Structure 1
Amino acid sequence: MPTPELIPADQQLSWRAITDADLDGWEALLRRMAVEDKPDWIEQRADLEEVLAAKKNNPVLDTILGVDGEGTPRSFGRISANAGSNMVHVFGGVDPAWRRRGIGTAIHEWQVARARKRQADAGIPDGFIRAYVEESNPGHRALLESSGATVVRWFTEMTRDLAEDIPEVDLDPEFEIVAFSDDISESMRLAHNEAFQDHWGSEPRDEESWRFTVTHPEFRPDWSLAVIDKSSGEVAAYEISSYDPESKELVGFIEGYTELLGVRRAWRGRRLAPALLAEAMRRFKADGMEHAGLGVDTENPSGALGLYERMGYTPTRRSMAFEKVLS
Structure 2
Amino acid sequence: MFEANAEVFSDRSLGYVQDTFEEFEREAADDFPDHELWTLAYDGDQLAGWVISAEEEDGVADTPWVGVRPAYRCQGLASALLRANHAQLLDHGITTSGIWTLAENPTGSIALYESLGYREDTRQPRYRKPV
The TM-score with structure 2 as length reference comes to: 0.89
- Residue 127 of structure 2 aligns to a residue whose secondary structure is strand
Amino acid at match of 2:46: E
Output the CA distance in 2 between the equivalents of 1:256 and 1:320: 23
Alignment equivalent of 1:320, drawn from 95, 106, 125: 125
Aligned residues: 130
Match in the other structure for 1:240: 52
Residue deviations 1:163-212, cap 9 Å, x none?
xxxxxxxxxxxxxxxxxxxxxxxxx1111100112331112232122112
Contact conserved, 2:55 with 2:94, CA < 8 A, in 1?
Answer: no
Whether 1:216 aligns to 2:21 is no
Output the CA distance in 2 between the equivalents of 1:301 and 1:323: 17
Contact conserved, 1:243 with 1:255, CA < 8 A, in 2?
Answer: yes
Q: Which entry has the higher C-alpha Rg, 1 or 2?
A: 1
Alignment of structure 1 residues 285-304 onto 2, 5 Å: 285-304=90-109
CA shift, 1:290, in A, is: 1.6
Amino acid at match of 2:98: G
Contact conserved, 1:218 with 1:242, CA < 8 A, in 2?
Answer: yes
User: Whose strand proportion is higher, 1 or 2?
Assistant: 1
Q: Which moved more, 1:269-278 or 1:303-312?
A: 269-278
Match in the other structure for 2:76: 271
5+ residue gaps, structure 2: none
Whether 1:306 aligns to 2:111 is yes
Output the CA distance in 2 between the equivalents of 1:295 and 1:222: 21
- Residue 212 of structure 1 aligns to a residue whose secondary structure is helix
The 3 A distance-change label for structure 1 pair 217 and 308 is closer
Output the CA distance in 2 between the equivalents of 1:228 and 1:260: 16
Residue deviations 1:61-100, cap 9 Å, x none?
xxxxxxxxxxxxxxxxxxxxxxxxxxxxxxxxxxxxxxxx
- Residue 258 of structure 1 aligns to a residue whose secondary structure is strand
5+ residue gaps, structure 1: 1-187, 249-253
The TM-score with structure 1 as length reference comes to: 0.38
Residue deviations 1:15-40, cap 9 Å, x none?
xxxxxxxxxxxxxxxxxxxxxxxxxx
- Residue 296 of structure 1 aligns to a residue whose secondary structure is coil
Whether 1:198 aligns to 2:3 is no
- Residue 317 of structure 1 aligns to a residue whose secondary structure is coil
Output the CA distance in 1 between the equivalents of 2:20 and 2:49: 18
Calculate percent identity across the aligned residue pairs: 27
Q: Structure 1 segments of 4 or more deviating over 3 A?
A: none
